[in-house]
Structure 1
């Protein structure tokens, strides 16, 4: 599904384009992105082309390229995925390029994607999971208005090939929206 363009604060969120392939490939060479990816990251330009196709064409996914609103530089990605209209549920995933980390990019983009999903889709609950060891994702979840719900034991195989325990967070459509700067 192709999502609309969003402009949360100084960020731009737009649908992915074919000309994003080189920036996507470069960002996915980062060791942190590769570790916390379910696939181990993107190891070739062909992999980046395939990932772009998935981000753009999955029927149960709305994915945005997160860019600097002034320069257009790719800062990251956010996707509302596994959208289940019958249950009213979805999941959210995201990553940020190294230069964007620690600047509030991920919480702002995740919050904007959740607000859009709650307004535009038959969704009332969005889940966010991350490896226990990924403390940065815990900070993103908390800042983006998610509530910690529990620990899932050996629930997901990450880029290191190991099944990690994950922390489960959720945001409901009637939860108070977070107060984010910008």
Structure 2
């Protein structure tokens, strides 16, 4: 029996092209991860702030190199899309930005990000998130992007609000971190709508 509603984004939209490098205002790039980035990922996951909000730990550079191999494969699988945020002049990794849990047929995905400790305070996460969101809406055709963070993660909440991800509610006891279960704030952006603008019918 056929569906009454067509897929929002056709299967193959991502896999049918090379993962792009996307310029970000202020001298940054969103680019595919490279094997040479493994030491930077390992360094990032030694940071207590990143460790607090992630279930994964990195025990070696070889382990993070395996992570990068896995991240690169998910583009072809159209399940996740992971990028390094890099300094355009030096190519040094300053952060990470991703589309996770992609469902092309429904036109939806979840965004995730972190910033290297040495690069914080420069507005990197908001700029990268805005750029990737615009690309996901305008170039891929996604309809809805979600962003979740622990209610205790005030820095992530500020990034969400600054980039037009409107708060939609609290998911109670939704994610288990090392210190126990955390309530999660849910934010979202809809294509063509920022902040608290109504989504319409």
TM-score, reference length from structure 1:
0.90
Task: Trace 1:136-147 onto structure 2 (pairs within 5 A).
Answer: 136-147=155-166
Task: Trace 1:27-46 onto structure 2 (pairs within 5 A).
Answer: 27-39=44-56, 41-46=57-62
1:2-57 superposed Cα distances (whole Å, 9 cap, x missing partner): 53111111211110011111111111110111111132x32222321222122211
Alignment gaps of 5+ in structure 2:
1-14, 196-201
Retained in 1: the 8 A contact 2:38–2:62? no
Residue 161 (structure 1) shift = 5.1
**Would you say 1:162 and 2:175 are equivalent positions?**
no
RMSD between aligned alpha carbons?
Answer: 1.6
Larger relative contact order (Cα-Cα within 8 Å, sequence gap ≥ 6): 1
**Superposition misfits of 4+ residues, deviation over 3 angstroms:** none
Alignment gaps of 5+ in structure 1:
178-182
Aligned counterpart in structure 2 of residue 3 of structure 1, from 19, 34, 38:
19
TM-score, reference length from structure 2:
0.82
Please name the residue that 2:8 is paired with.
none
Please name the residue that 1:15 is paired with.
32
**Structure (1 or 2) with the larger CA radius of gyration:** 2
SS in 1 for 2:23: coil
Q: Bigger shift: 160-169 or 28-37?
A: 160-169
Task: Trace 1:78-157 onto structure 2 (pairs within 5 A).
Answer: 78-157=97-176
